[in-house]
Homo-oligomer: A and B are copies of this chain.
Amino acid sequence: MFNNITIVGVGLIGGSFALAVKDKKIAKNVIGVCNSEHTKQKVLELKLVDEVLPLEQAIKKADLIYVAIPVDATITVMQQIMNLINTQQIVIDAGSTKFALCSVLNNYSNRERFVATHPMWGTEYSGPEAAVHHAFNGRACVICEKEKSNKEAVELVENIYKQLGMHLVYMDAEAHDIHAAYVSHISHITSFALANTVLEKEKEEDAIFELAGGGFESTVRLAKSNPAMWAPIFMQNKENVLDVLNEHISQLRKFKSALEKENIEYLNELMEKANKIKRIIK
């Protein structure tokens, strides 16, 4: 059991991590770092952490530091943290991109105190109110560049995620970002674009409200996601996201062409191919 875990950014991920740490008795004391007085009040009110401290104090006091803020801010704040920690403290991040952060941290002499992780869980909601119990249970957690981190630090981090019910997957930061573009980032872009499609063309919003069934809701759900979180992810993973996005547009064009030509055979072929996703998603 840790004495003190500090969570920088007590929102959807950080807040859910804080709850899990308490639920699983992973730490005696959980410290939050918030970027506004409003969030601080919310976080304390929701009892997500035991106390909220300014960054520097919170880092000093921590055995383990968990950074769960937008990926652009992560790069800045993580560098501050690396300059503050001693040789016993461990720092983890939970960001959706890994290559940019890992590249920057490679220049730090104490790189081995950092463990790059990405717990593959999230919802379309954000902020402290979005934090939930048992969030990570049953999901995968990616650990990147394991070999660059201190062996004992990695083991401690692995144990935390295992206690949260996650199974671990290992890959390098570059591979992570490619996979993340496919299984997460593109889904968000299609969902945002689908929402805009409907909002653009469908002026009778009442009709959408009345008619939208489960199918529409599930494909458009992610369009409620927080731009402050997603813009930096898309920008940091630009090349991979563009690659997948181009492929997606070209796949949509195939449906367009099949329809325009009333080529029902081709249409069926495209859908039968898509059905193969059953092998992957139960």
A residues at B contact (CB < 8 Å): 120-124, 139-140, 142, 167, 169, 171, 175, 179-180, 182-184, 186-202, 204-205, 207-225, 227-228, 230-231, 234-235, 238, 241-249, 251-256, 259-260, 262, 264, 267-268, 270-281
- Give this chain's copy count: 2
Asked if B213 contacts A183 (CB within 8 A), the reply is yes
**Residues A195 and B274 in contact in the complex (CB < 8 Å), given A215-B187, A249-B252, A259-B241:** yes
Task: Tell which of B124, B140, B205, B230 touches A280, judged by Cβ atoms closer than 8 Å.
Answer: B205
Q: Name the distance in Å between A187's Cβ and chain B's nearest Cβ.
A: 4
Asked if B183 contacts A190 (CB within 8 A), the reply is no
**Residues A187 and B245 in contact in the complex (CB < 8 Å), given A213-B120, A278-B224:** no
Asked if B271 contacts A197 (CB within 8 A), the reply is no
Residues of B contacting A251 with CB < 8 Å? 193-194, 196-197, 200
Q: Name the distance in Å between A118's Cβ and chain B's nearest Cβ.
A: 9
Residues of B contacting A140 with CB < 8 Å? 210-211, 213
Asked if B199 contacts A276 (CB within 8 A), the reply is yes
Interface centre among A210, A246, A271 (most CB of B within 10 A): A271
Q: Name the distance in Å between A130's Cβ and chain B's nearest Cβ.
A: 13
A215 to B139, CA, bound (A): 12
Residues of B contacting A189 with CB < 8 Å? 252, 255
